[in-house]
Structure 1
Amino acid sequence: MTAIDLNSDLGESYGAWAMGDDAAMLAIVSSANVACGFHAGDPAGILKTVKAAAGKGVSIGAHVSYPDRVGFGRRDMDVTGGELIADVIYQIGALKGIAAAAGVGVGYVKPHGALYNRIAYDPKQGQAVIDGIKAIDPSLVLMGLAGSPILERARKSGLNVVAEAFADRAYTPDGQLVSRREEGSVLHDPQLIARRMLQLAREGTLEAIDGSTIRIDAQSICVHGDSPGAVAIAREIRRAFEADGITVRSFLTA
């Protein structure tokens, strides 16, 4: 692999509550998953992040979520297909409006938190997200968990997709993310994480939490913007990639 996308969840501050360091991350990543107000983000903050991303030439994606600000979008919800379709359309539409005001476009959709995990394997909610995307803009790319059924479902429905791996998360032997409720689920050492991501880019493999080697085919790598030390992690990954001759570049410009 000679080039790979590096993405982060941004625009998540809300009013007086700051979340992450968007300005610093936008100097490192190639794609920004921007909150749409359902799990985090307020209009002024979202606009600020979108303008900053535009200024850095960073691709913009809609980080759609369940309507769950209190739980930061990390609580599973048993919503109907109709509700979820409308929620997806609403959030993408909001971000598209803000992006248009900033003179840029929205190129992809990455579901957030519990919704991301649910649709990876749930065909009903997965199809609802796909249908919502297609209803508002079928040219949008769906970003989803590498190796999960949602990617093939989206392809069969006519969407372009990009497979994603997580830099700062541990994996189970079957390629799923280790639950945040379990010890060791979130990684913190920038050097260790960078070495893991180099292995992913070079060989398409990672070490699972039990020590086994798993295969992961991913075109984008996520560093969670709200993780402790997120900027240091992203910076070390980019440094390691560039030292190894791997270009950090948005999948939308590949």
Structure 2
Amino acid sequence: MHVSIDLNADLGEHPGTTQDEQIMPFISSCNIACGGHIGDEFSVRQTIRLAKQHEVAIGAHPSYPDRENFGRKIISIQPGDLAESISEQILLVKRICEEEGVVLHHVKPHGALYNHAAADRFISELILNVLKDVTPGIFWMGLARSVSKETAEKKGYPFIAEGFADRKYESDGSLRSRSLAGAVLSRDEVIDQVQELVLNKRVKVENWMKLEIQSICLHGDTVGAVTLAKEINQTLVRKGVDITAV
């Protein structure tokens, strides 16, 4: 049976380093920070140019407008203001894509916004309405087995179901909070989890849980991310898996 998977990483989050350049050869799509939690016009353009060079599909990575907490906390904000912020972040990436002669492929929320949408219908619908308004038809990338996925499917909106290489899952399909022990996996656990997700469509919680994904994420801020990206890529290729954007 032919197996393919998209391998994505969150980029544009480590200004002044060469990490993005080192990860880019091993992935098929990227999610570019666009000002909510970090990033600006310069970093977005720089990352888009790198992605273009490596033929990597480009996604916008909007978050709660909360640079202080790196977008990792749910903040108190009026829905209209949140929608406006998400829209502005996406449109920044879209505009620079157009200026650089490439296509915006998807939108993947970041951090607390991603996890909030995965569990909350109101936030999911808010994100969906922004996407339909500013980037109609562009993929929404979000957590597999989530309210985000249900919301998109209910409205017939194209959705990429994402799994995680380096994060521990809970039995309901959510990701373990980073504040809890064991939330971020070790190198060996990452390699094992990737193979189970891609080849066997399952993930280990208390028992095995079925999980169908189209894309798998490696966080760029995971310790040894560059080496992990290379090892994940090589492991999957050895198993006959095609690494390609959705």
- TM-score between the two structures when normalised by the length of structure 1: 0.93
- Partner of residue 126 from structure 1, selected from 124, 127, 148: 124
**Aligned ranges 1:183-194 → 2 under 5 Å:** 183-189=181-187, 191-194=188-191
Q: Distance in 2 between matches of 1:74 and 1:149?
A: 19
Of residues 200, 203, 211, the one that matches 1:203 is 200
Counterparts of 1:46 and 1:60 in 2: how far apart (Å)? Answer: 11
Task: Give the letter for the 2:214 counterpart.
Answer: Q
Give the secondary structure class of the aligned counterpart of 1:27.
helix
1:156 positional shift? 2.1
Aligned match of 1:97: 95
> Does the residue aligned with 1:107 lie in a helix, a strand or coil?
strand
Name the amino acid aligned to 1:99. C
Structure 1 residues 104 and 116: CA distance shift in structure 2, 3 A: same
Which residue identity does 2:197 align to in structure 1? Answer: L
- In the other structure, the counterpart of 2:112 is 114
**Does the aligned pair in 1 maintain the 2:93–2:104 contact within 8 Å?**
yes
From 215, 222, 241, the counterpart of 1:227: 222
> How far apart in 2 are the matches of 1:107 and 1:61?
6
1:195 aligned partner, one-letter code: D
Aligned to 1:13: 14
Please show how residues 214-253 of structure 1 align to structure 2 within 5 Å: 214-251=209-246
Q: Counterparts of 1:12 and 1:110 in 2: how far apart (Å)?
A: 14
- Paired with 1:186 and 1:19, the residues of 2 have a C-alpha distance of 22
Q: Percent identity?
A: 38
Distance 1:20 1:80 in 2: 37
**1:3 maps to which residue?**
4
Find out whether 1:45 has 2:40 as its counterpart.
no
Structure 2 stretches of 5 or more lacking a match? Answer: none
CA 1:198 to 1:72, structure 2 compared with 1: closer, same or farther past 3 Å? Answer: same
Q: How many residues align?
A: 245
Deviation at residue 105 of structure 1 after TM alignment: 1.4
RMSD over equivalenced CA pairs, Å: 1.4
How far the C-alpha of 1:87 sits from its partner, in A, is: 1.5
Amino acid at match of 2:204: E
Give, in whole Å, the separation in 1 of the partners of 2:17 and 2:177: 22
2:172 to 158, 171, 174: 174
How far apart, CA to CA, are the structure 1 residues paired with 2:147 and 2:31? 21
The SS at the match of 2:216 is strand
Taking the aligned partners of 1:98 and 1:88, their CA distance within structure 2 comes to 16
Q: Which amino acid aligns with 2:45?
A: L
Code of the residue aligned with 2:5 in structure 1: it is: I
Stretches (4+) displaced over 4 A = none
Give the SS at the match of 1:4: strand
Out of 26, 29, 32, the residue aligned to residue 28 of structure 1 is: 26
Gaps of 5+ in 1: none
Aligned to 1:60: 58
1:85 is displaced (CA, Å) by 1.8
* Shift of residue 19, structure 1, vs aligned partner: 6.2
Q: 2: CA distance between counterparts of 1:214 and 1:158?
A: 26
Contact 2:35 2:89 in 1 (8 A): yes
